[in-house]
Structure 1
């Protein structure tokens, strides 16, 4: 049976051993996030809650963005980006009856054989790279991010994209709404210092995150990864699938969209698409053949009906002609036998009926 970890979208794969010291960037990011959260909630928003309804609205919006940011950041850290698992891949391929990988892989050795990782010895599908920090081959690897101490790959790329979205929105929302509190002259010096510190820090992060997020949006439209952009390899590989990539990375606010990840093994994405294309082409041909058969049957039915109608009309004409001939013969016999004027009238009547028919 396939691995049970793929049955639930949030179940992480087996993570490699990580050095505790390398979690320091994660702790630093968490410290910055919660520091800005505390400054905004307790220094900026708390005093405004007493006399302004605007403070409640800003507080709800900011904390909603912060909650989504925190969830996405946690998922980026704990979710395995995806690795080549030989057993589950073989089971998937046997179940779907797909052709071998090497028949469809675009990245191959010069000899034409499929690639293998020289570090872990596993088969390397297209867009798979070995991360020396995580010590594993990552499916559809985008890059290794030290700030989440994890690789961004097939299974957590969506969380990383959403993290950039919510972090950018939260940072800009924070410094824009704090600007009014900073310019007020009657604020205590200590509060003004914290507000200025929070506004400058959030504006700086907002600027950096905006540029980084715009870069990843551009990559999504190009259907590229960061590694492919750095290596300039898409010209020779010709990867496509912009629509599927945008759908996979859609930044929806729905919980169902947030809690779902890319399923499958990633090594089969192109093969599955080709199999689906062949299946669609087969169904299309069958539908066209069925349409042609129906049209031909209808034409044959109409031709048969016309033939039967012509045969019926011809038979009616023959019967009418035989009847008229019989009546004429009887009239002629009566005339010869001395019927006189009566026979002549009968003959005229018969000719009249024959003409009408």
Structure 2
């Protein structure tokens, strides 16, 4: 009998139009895992998006736009199981059950919660208005655990910022199984994603739409050129130490705004083109205009097939909705089995009715 293939799970928060930071930070890795023949489950974390919601946002529109871009980049609905978090009601039920065995102190040690507290006036929740942080944000690790455990995922590729949450999910699974003397929940394993963290076009630490420093995967050539021409440069960039021209050896020695141009050039252009511009930098030539226009051409060439596939008739909203429905139907049986096993283990018994 053939060994059952492990499930690799990743969540994608719906944020609308995607940029190069998203591509090299996550999308490329997802596609690589898929093309390696892994059994990949990707869910749209629309519930998680609500932890930051201060007003109504059209997350459904964001979901459709984002998935059409993922498919245009190479994610194949025939090879990967892609579903929407909110289309799996069992996740919310498991979230409730897991919350019953999770203590507040554990949740307050999560990086998500501590980062939110650090942004409050005085870096404390003891202000005159009381703690403004929502229950949803505090309980973020429990919902993430439910996402992972509901489909019995084996491995979860994550960056360093999310590793703690996968470890918390594993702890919750072990705690549940031990307390109720069962094997209802599979203990997941975090896997390093080794994702590239692409700086913003302004040299900022992270590329993002809210920071207004992003380079979009659907940007047309005119907009690409406008954005790249606006990147900050300097007339006195300073020397580069060492003889190596490898990106990891030279880019960190450049001013931040210049470094991101070279990072993109390394990712998109032939090696000889990248090396030629490193040589011009070393010699102190006047080359920024040529660097920016050349880079804009490579970016536009990279975007062109993505834009074409995004707008293809077979990748319209209706097609995306159809495969979301189909994949929710594929995932629901294992989700039901998991939550029913947990209900039985706790002692409330299996559901007598599900619509």
Question: What TM-score do the two structures reach when normalised by structure 2?
Answer: 0.22
More helix by share: 1
With structure 1 as the length reference, what TM-score do the two structures score?
A: 0.22
Larger radius of gyration: 1
